[in-house]
Structure formats: C-alpha cells, structure tokens
Amino acid sequence: MSGKRVLITGGFGNLGSWISSYFAKNGYKISILSKNIRDSKYSTIQADISDFNNLNKKLKDLEFDYIIHTASYNEFFYKNYYQKALLINSLGTRNLIEIFKNKNIKRFIYLSTFHIYGVDSGTITENTPPNPKNDYASTHLFAEYYLKQFNSFPSIVFRLTNSYGSPKSIDSSKWYLVLNDLARSAFLDKKIVLKGNGKAVRDFIYMGDVCKVIEKSFKFKPNSTLNLSSNQTYSMLYLAKKVQSVFKKKYNKELEIILNKRDKTEAKILFVDNSKLMSLIDIEFSNKFEQEIESIFNLLERYYG
C-alpha cells in the first residue's frame, strides 16, 4: 500500500466525509484525523490540530504519502468565532506543516476558499489580489501564507467555491449550507422561504467532482495555487425550483416557494475562473443537483421516518 497512504484531516466533516469515502473506495489506505471521533470503518486519529503537543504526539511516528487538509472552523455565527478560526484554520495548518515538513510527503492538499479574494462580482483569477472581508477568509489566507513560507513543502492550495452534496450523516453541522437548507426546509416545512428575491447567483461545484480533482492533483507541480470551481453559476431560485421539482416527483405534492418581494436588489454575477486548473486536467463538471436533493430527502426520511 506504499504510495497510497492518505491522511484526511476533518475526514468526518461535510466535505471531508465525501473525500474519505471516495479515496477508500479507490484503494487508498486512509486515516482520518479529527477532534471528535465517531464509530467508523476507517483508521482514526483523535487530536486537536490547534494543540501542537497533542498533535505531534499522535502523528510523529506515522508516515503518509498524501495529506488532504480539510479541517477548519467555519461556524461564524458562534461566539468567539474569530479566535477559534485563527487557532484552527491558521495555527492548525502551521502545526501540520511543522510536524510533516521533514517527512517524505508527496503532496499536502489544502482546501482554502475563494472568499480570500473578497470580491462579489466580476471575474476572479488566481492573480486577483486577496482582499479578505471576514475572519473565515483571513484565517484561510494566513494558512496559505504559512504554506508559502515553507516553499520546499510540496503543497497544493485549492481555493474552493461552494461545494454541494448530501451530508453523509444526519449529524452534519453543515445543514445551513444552501442546498442542504433548501431541501431540509422542503421536507420539514413543506415550503421554501427565500430570504431574498432569488436572484443571487453563485458558483457551485459537486463534491464528487472535488474528490476527483484532488486525486488528480497528486501529480500536479508542487506549490501551486488553483481556483477549484465549476465555472458554472446558478441562482438561488434555480436551486429552489430544483428542490421543488424533486419534491413533486418523490412525494407527488406541490411545494410552495416564497420569495422576499421587498428585496429589489439585482444579482451580482461572480465568475471564479478555473482555466488554470483546466489546463492541467481533463474533467467535465457535473450537474448533480437533483440526485443530491433526492439523497438529502432519503437521509431525512431515515431519521424522521
């Protein structure tokens, strides 16, 4: 199995659980690093990445070929978010670098965010100057700077846009994400209430495609920074109508979509250019909204009955 040993930080998280499942199915020997361990068929390592001594104790004698770093703290609505975000997102990344910088790591894949640009309209490329507008963006950018500081450390930074896919567990902490929230509202409330007029537009990328890109990036030139987007934008109303359509097919019931008619704002269109990534790989990004909406409904059915 040498050459296929993968450590996935945050491997029980929303995106991390997709990555864990994908790499396990594709013959990799995976280990999941998490602060909170759940029953799992995978090898697990319980550690807090913001606590260097504890982390080093757990990892110092272990060898991996690849590290996929998804562990981060993004719950901005919690008290003292900015402190925890700095400790986990920034310092946690620095701790991992310190532990593995002298080991034979082939690639360290870091899932950063397109929010580091701080732009809400127009087109952004990897050459767009960073201008973070919140702690989530700033702390991920700080982590990127740590990776640049150690330029001999073979890292790949992905500035990820809005990824979607059904949670792997009802205990997911990411039910506030757009598609999850819309589908859950439909299932529980039998209606969708949008806070805006539905015109807001975002780039969305299927988590299954994110997994494929990460695997392909194992062969990318190290110390690269790439936008990870589908270069396809969708409005909130489009997503709501997709949920409405799947709900109708699955339950043979009509689903009301309620717009905020007081919201007169026009959509700001933001394109996250992925041409640098597309020059390195051959991939066709998927539209899996209906499939994932149905999977969310199935998950909710199993829990709520």
What is the percent of the chain with per-residue pLDDT over 90, rounded to a whole number? 87
Indicate the DSSP class of residue 88. Answer: I
Q: What does the pLDDT average to over 207-236?
A: 96
Residue 1: is its pLDDT beyond 60? no
Residue 211 and residue 259 in contact, taking contact as beta carbons nearer than 8 Å:
no
Whether the model pTM is above 0.85? yes
Helix 236-251 and helix 178-189, axial crossing angle in degrees, nearest 10: 40
CA 59 – CA 47 distance, rounded (Å): 9
Q: What kind and span of H or E run contains 156? A: strand 155-160
Using a 10 angstrom Cβ sphere, with 0-12 exposed, 13-18 middle and 19 or more buried, the burial of residue 245 is: middle
Q: What kind and span of H or E run contains 93? A: helix 92-100
Which domains, ranges and CATH numbers included, belong to the chain?
5-163+205-228 (3.40.50.720), 166-203+233-270+277-304 (3.90.25.10)
CA 267 – CA 124 distance, rounded (Å): 17
Return all residues near 139 (Cβ < 8 A) that are at least 6 apart. 72, 85, 86, 88, 89, 90
Residue 2: is its pLDDT beyond 70? no
Number of neighbouring beta carbons within 10 Å of residue 220:
17
Longest dimension (CA), the chain: 59
228 three-class SS = strand
Q: What does the pLDDT average to over 293-300?
A: 98
Model confidence pLDDT, tens digit, residues 91-101: 999 999 999 99
